[in-house]
A and B are shown apart, each in its own frame.
Chain A
Amino acid sequence: MAAHLKKRVYEEFSRVVQITHEEAPAKKLRLSKPSKSAALHIDLCKATNSTDALQYLLHFARKPVEVESVEGVVRILLEHYYKETDNSVRLKIASLLGLLSKTQGFSPDCIVDDAINTLNNEKSHQVLAQLLDTLLVIGTQLPESPTVRLRLIQMACKHLSDTYFGVRNKCLKLLGCLGTVDAPLTKDNEGAGTSLGDVRDVQTIISDYFGDQDPRVRTAALKAMLQLHERGMKIHEIIYDQACRLLTDDYEQVRSAAVQMVWVLSQLYPESIVPIPSSNEEIRLVDDAFGKISHMVSDGSWMVRVQAAKTLGSMLQVSPHFLEQTLDKKLMSDLRRKRTAHERAKELFTSGEFSSGRKWADDAPKEKLDRNTVYLIASGACGAFVHGLEDEMFEVRIAAVDALSKLARSSPSFAEKCLDFLVDMFNDEIEEVRLQSIHVLREISTHITLREDQLDTVLAVLEDSSRDIREALHELICYTNVSTKECVQLALLELLKNLNKYPTDRNSVWKCLKFLGSRHPTLVLPLVPELLSTHPYFDTPEPDMDDPAYIAVLVLVFNAAKSCPTMPALFSDHTFRHYAYLRDSLSHLVPPLRLPGNGLDLVDSRCSSGSVESAQLFLQQSLNRVSTIQNLEAPGAQELLNFTIRDLQRLGELQMELAGAADFCATYLRCQLLLMKALQEKLWNMAVPLCLKQNVTATAAAQQILEETYKLEFLYGGLESRQVATIHHVRLQAKALQLVLTARTRQGLDPLISSCEKFLQDIESFQRLFLAELPHLQDSFVDTLLELMPRLSSCKPVEMVKILQTTLRQSGLLQLRLPEQIHRATATIIEPTGESDNPLRFTTGLVVALDIDATLEHVQDPQNTVKVQVLYPDGQSHVIHPKPGDFRKPAPDRHRLITQVYLSHTAWTEPSQIEVRLLLAYSSSSTTSLSAPKLGWSDSVDGLQSPEAAVEGTIPFSKPVKVYIMPKPARR
């Protein structure tokens, strides 16, 4: 403790404060940290025994060291190292050396000699291992120096024959990370008979240790070899045999690494030919490797099984013949005919010598088989996936499902085959696996057409009580091709059943039927009379238009009718009326139809209003038009902005693809409009006391602009740095406006000084952040300010305000360039719907859980940004952070939030509505940290922290939903 205190004192003494001259601005302040080396030296000198020294070192390691003092510290450490007799202290010093050489900006070549020197004199194995580790760090820090590298490699080779496994491990690691292929190494091994200076390369040296007696060293050797591969070296093909031998190692980590090694080689030399032992046939290397890795899927250790199953998925070059065996647990025989799933069941019973266990007494022994055709295990790839998919550990099962999906995507015929197995996985006991297999099936569904029996099995899952499963399945049906009209009917029936059982699936089911209809128009056609229950002679009663099931049927029919012009002839009168109604109310589900005859031309005007390109053009033109604003008089300019904003808003509504861009532009222009209005106020010419009222509107405008800029920055995805600069520019203008207004209204100089300083900091940070963008901001507000910067930073506040005022009024509108892709983050609350008239009743003081189900589009990192706000009628509001697990990701750029919020309130006399909405939280520091380079080991960045205080806030980005609740007073 005393030492600690002394150190504190020492630190305080050594604090250097640069006292600035009076005329220099007082803002610049530089702190200099105390020199670490001095403190350490003193500590180490004081240490009387090794325990103390170790304590000091441990304490020392907690704090970072700045670049300048690293070398000094290293010298002190080394000095102490030579004196130290205790192994643990030397070990710690060695590890500290490694840590220090990682310091950014420090070049460790000056300590290479010392480190190697210590290595030669070291006796303790543990310390040796640690020193080698340090050398590795040094080596990786000096990638450009081949001489150092060569020396290090020689050191490693020398110590490879150490008796301690740790040393050998580290040597191998070092060889793996630093070894080169181009320069063959001379392994000078004294004493041994092989020391004839034989030239061997790194790979041979490493592969020698594949047969080491210690499994950890074997693993390290394999890892080193993999490391070589990762560094872009071509591994020799001879290694393949050795790696294959290690697949049968006793230790799981060796086997696991060997699987990787074999995989790497199979990717490097897929077409080489290897002989099959015990026969004179030869096969491709990739096939051989595939067989061997398949074998590992039934390994004893589940880690290896996971590894093997994962690896299988990336072996795409394997021959289809081998691939298909992985799904076939049964015996291979050349005479086996290709079977379809229909035949499969029967064939399983009749084909073989082995009973399937599905039929009674089918295992009565039949004729004796030819021994040569029957393999149980040696047949390698045989049934690997069957095993993987019914593994005990769900990790293995998931890996197997993933691998299946990868292989199926590259091979349609395999996709066809693995269908049955994937469908089987829909019954897995773990939901994650079920979900994964549904997703996988969706991904490969382009290759396959489901037959009726398969569809039947798939659809059975629609009754699953898990919403995720059902929705994934709906998604799957959207992309599925079916073969017959019975299939369509079956799917419709099951979906209606699902709708009946789970009414909340309404939207999802409708969407699913939309795709089903538009995919199979010809299959739907013969079903139409039945579906719409029309009759050639009799009028049938008009179905209820509000029935979700009826709507579902109509969605299917209308979407099919889109590409099947003969269909509308089968519609009855009310169908047309319903079409008109649905086309309006559910326009996203019902396509525009060209309906024939009797003047009932229902072709929608909306769909003919041109393509995306023309809309794009219009958007660009509007923006161009706005750029001419500089030349217009104030009222004209405002009017133009007003019109453009209106146009853009309408455009956004009409053209969904451009909604984001249009909204973005409109918001930006609105900011400009506000700014313009605020600056055009006559108040600027009036005396301060007279214009208090106008001042209020201008202040409000400034505030609003600020808010809008945050929306612009954080609500829209796909912004480039250029746009962000533009947004920040507007914000800066708004801040300037605020500053000017403050100066005009408030009395007193002190607050003004601080806000002036703050503003200057803002400018600085702007400059720092958008250095690259500055050339694009010619003649803008910022540009002018930066020119005036020297003057600004030295002048008095009042003068500064004046300058600002004039620059602000002179500055024109900054042209907005539209980014390629821009998306507005949106959220829709699906549940609660806000339609219920039944209040949610609960007892005061207790909580009630409200289920929230919302879709989020284009939200990055929703786990951290999306919050739920609950607003009570009394103005109280709660913000709830949903758990990260509540977010699902059904599609790219789309998230699904399914969560529960807890409500509670004191007693009310009657039910009332609360509002629920989603908020997008933002923090301005998030952008700064993105653009600032990440600082490494040292946590001394606190001095560099941006002076701009992080502005945090939230943007509501969903329509509020009203929920009727009723807290009852507790009964006594």
Chain B
Amino acid sequence: MIHKLTLQDHATQPHTVRGAGQDVGRSCILVSIGGKNIMLDCGMHMGYNDDRRFPDFSYITQNGRLTEFLDCVIISHFHLDHCGALPFMSEMVGYDGPIYMTHPTKAICPILLEDFRKITVDKKGETNFFTSQMIKDCMKKVVPLNLHQTVQVDDELEIKAYYAGHVLGAAMVHIKVGSESVVYTGDYNMTPDRHLGAAWIDKCRPDLLISESTYATTIRDSKRCRERDFLKKVHESIERGGKVLIPVFALGRAQELCILLETFWERMNLKAPIYFSTGLTEKANHYYKLFITWTNQKIRKTFVQRNMFEFKHIKAFDRSYADNPGPMVVFATPGMLHAGQSLQIFKKWAGNEKNMVIMPGYCVQGTIGHKILNGQRKLEMEGRSTLDVKLQVEYMSFSAHADAKGIMQLIRMAEPRNMLLVHGEAVKMEFLKGKIEQEFSIDCHMPANGETVAVTTNPSVPVDISLNLLKREMALGGPLPDPKKPRTMHGTLIMKENSLKLVSSEQALKELGLNEHQLRFTCRVQLQDPHSDSDTLHRIYTHLKSVLKGYTIQHLPDGTVMVESIVIKVSSCAEDANTKVLLLSWSYQDEDLGSFLSTLLKKGLPSGLC
């Protein structure tokens, strides 16, 4: 029911995700990152009317309050499948921590929640549901976010919102704790439309990218083509004198289509009326007018002359207009023709073949919208009456989700190290997963509901380096560090009170109050050499001299040869005068040279030496 995702670093911190795994409907993801627990979205399932519609919050904490477990809640946008369970969670289950969402989401979300509450409580008569007051209380806990503003939730946890373009105010969030980070996309759209821009994120290289995958197997045709078709169909129908019904949901696509038709009417000088069924919409349009900065380039740039959401041609709809003669276009809710005004109008107009219905989005099985899209021409209505569907039925997908190509594009933009797909159908996600793994060679996960995924991160550990040491190393090497060539340096790593320090060994000794110990290796090498000890020594000296060029080699009067700081002595073996025993001694620092010398001398001396 709730699904879990765990992001693991070396310290194996679980990172949980709950909610909308391989399912479109209810998003709720729990992420544990660097010891912080964050809830991403708190959605509900529209298909259920019982407990199943909300996520099972008891799964998170077996007992105890959510506030103790969760550090914050982030809501990506105002659709109910992303924020519908919010008052339930915060007021009825109990959560007092901060809830983050963008300004438009904060404005529009309560309207939708209230509407939803009205339908469930007032119409269906359910009890044990959140009240208006609870919605208000819940909204008081909301902290608004601005785009690209980094908000410090606490000392370690910071979040930053990016534009997602799905609906007004939709945002992607970048969550960062220390060096670990997660990006959650919510729903997003990579192709700009008539009222919103395209999603954008900078190259933030998160450890994990959690992306929706509603259209994992779709590559949509050019948007313009669809728009043109849509306008052409509407225009033709109007010219014939027909009526066009467009069932929509109150927010989101409806506004895009309104703008599309409005500008088309303006450009073409058309006179036929366009109606929009009232209610929610007017309030929503009001917010669209206010949050101009969240819309696309055209609207942002022209709003000084005229706000695009102040429609000239689109008027409020009244029930009686449906019977008016002549052409008209009506936007009516709800979008799947399952109830309400859109269904009423549909019944009235279905009999005339001049009329048209355009379905702009997804229809759930069982709804009239689904039936007519599958070509059913005779519908059974309640009370055993049948309805002949003579009007034209068109399907125009204007859904604002990223298609497969868009998802890939976002991955390319953000360059994540791991990928996680949610909010989609398992079969389609499987396909996309394959693509991602092949294309970017990164790990891709697709957890089922309630499943926990652990993602291993490879965090970088910051270490302080002492300036003296750095300068000393600089003096040895060139003037500039070359990023292409890593350089080794000697130093001592001190781990002390959660901080790491790299200092020179002398300083380390001093700091820790330790004495320096010398470590010397000694080694005996047997050598067959008929000469006297001193001659052998001299032979060794000349041999080394010829082999090791560029090293200081000394023949000391006390019968030793010094190569740098390595001492070589010769003594004869007690049993056999021809067998000479060489004594090599070197300190730990000269290990490389010392072992080289020992192997060299083990091979014996070349015969040609004098």
Contacts and interface: CB of A to CB of B under 8 A. Distances in A.
B383 interface: no
Contact of A465 (B197, B267, B363): B267
Interface string A25-61: 0000000000000000000000000000000000000
B200 interface: yes
Tell me which of B215, B219, B228, B399 has the highest count of chain A C-beta atoms within 10 A of its own C-beta.
B219
Interface in A385-404: 386, 389-394
Chain A CB within 10 A, most for which of B220, B222, B479:
B222
B297 A356 contact: no
A394 B297 contact: yes
Contacts of A211: 483-484
B221 A329 contact: yes
Interface residues of B, number: 61
B304 interface: no
A390 B221 CA distance: 11
Contacts of B266: 465
A427 B227 contact: yes
Interface stretch (B134-142, B242-250, B405-413, B448-456): B405-413
A300 B218 contact: no
Contact of A358 (B229, B263, B478, B484): B229
Interface string B339-366: 0000000000000000000010001000
Nearest to B369: A360
A290 B225 CA distance: 25
B297 A393 contact: yes
Interface string B470-491: 0000000011100110000000
Contacts of B4: none
A353 B217 contact: yes
B220 A356 contact: yes
A864 interface: no
A360 B224 contact: no
Given A191-B478, A376-B439, A460-B235, A357 B408 contact: no
Contacts of A329: 219, 221-222, 405
Given A365-B431, A463-B268, A377 B219 contact: no
Contacts of A389: 222, 224
Interface in B211-240: 215, 217-229, 231-232, 235
B607 interface: no
A213 B483 contact: yes
Contacts of B435: 374, 376
B281 interface: no
A424 B224 contact: yes
Contacts of B201: 300
A371 B432 CA distance: 11
A464 interface: yes
Given A365-B427, A393-B297, A465-B269, A356 B221 contact: yes
A182 interface: no
A427 B231 contact: yes
A391 B408 contact: no
Given A348-B221, A365-B428, A463-B269, A358 B412 contact: no
B588 interface: no
A429 B408 contact: no
B218 A359 contact: no
A386 B232 contact: no
B366 to A, nearest CB: 14
Interface string B273-311: 000000000000000000000001110000000000000
A354 B219 contact: yes
Given A365-B217, A371-B434, A464 B373 contact: no
B194 interface: yes
A298 B235 CA distance: 33
A361 B374 contact: yes
A360 B221 contact: no
A466 B267 CA distance: 7
A163 interface: yes
Interface residues of A, number: 56
B226 to A, nearest CB: 6
B218 A250 contact: no
A429 B359 contact: no
Nearest to B196: A392
A357 B224 contact: no
Contacts of B263: 429
A357 B397 contact: yes
Contacts of A938: none
A377 B405 contact: yes
A486 interface: no
A330 interface: yes
Contacts of A427: 224, 227-228, 231
A4 interface: no
A451 B578 CA distance: 105
A424 B222 contact: yes
Contacts of A424: 222, 224-225, 228
B104 to A, nearest CB: 18
A465 B313 CA distance: 15
B203 interface: yes
A464 B263 CA distance: 11
Most chain B beta-carbon neighbours within 10 Å: one of A250, A377, A429, A430: A429
Nearest to A426: B228
Interface in A341-387: 348, 352-361, 363, 365, 371, 374-378, 383, 386
Contacts of A330: 219
A457 B219 CA distance: 24
B269 A501 contact: yes
A957 interface: no
Contacts of A161: 479-480
Contacts of B222: 329, 386, 389-390, 421, 424
A300 B396 CA distance: 28
A381 to B, nearest CB: 14
B226 A357 contact: yes
B438 interface: yes
A390 B399 contact: no
A308 to B, nearest CB: 14
Contact of B404 (A354, A359, A360, A425): A354
Contacts of B427: 365
A300 B403 CA distance: 17
Nearest to A421: B222
Contacts of B359: 360
A739 B216 CA distance: 90
Interface string A417-452: 000110111011110000000000000000000000
A375 B217 CA distance: 12
A211 B483 CA distance: 8
B413 A300 contact: yes
A687 interface: no
A191 B479 contact: yes
A386 B228 CA distance: 15
Given A360-B373, A371-B434, A376 B224 contact: no
B216 to A, nearest CB: 9
19 contacts: A191-B479, A193-B478, A330-B219, A355-B217, A356-B220, A357-B218, A357-B399, A358-B397, A359-B395, A360-B363, A376-B219, A376-B435, A377-B409, A377-B439, A394-B297, A424-B222, A427-B227, A463-B268, A465-B269
Interface of A: 161, 163, 191-193, 211, 213, 250, 298, 300, 329-331, 348, 352-361, 363, 365, 371, 374-378, 383, 386, 389-394, 420-421, 423-425, 427-430, 457, 460, 463-466, 501
Given A353-B217, A393-B297, A427-B228, 15 more contacts: A163-B480, A298-B412, A329-B219, A353-B431, A356-B218, A357-B215, A358-B221, A358-B397, A360-B359, A360-B373, A361-B373, A378-B439, A389-B222, A391-B192, A427-B231
Interface of B: 191-192, 194, 197-198, 200-203, 215, 217-229, 231-232, 235, 263, 266-269, 296-298, 359, 363, 373-374, 395-397, 399, 403-405, 408-409, 412-413, 427-428, 431, 434-435, 438-439, 478-480, 483-484
The 5 closest A-B pairs by CB, nearest first: A357-B397, A392-B192, A424-B224, A354-B219, A360-B373
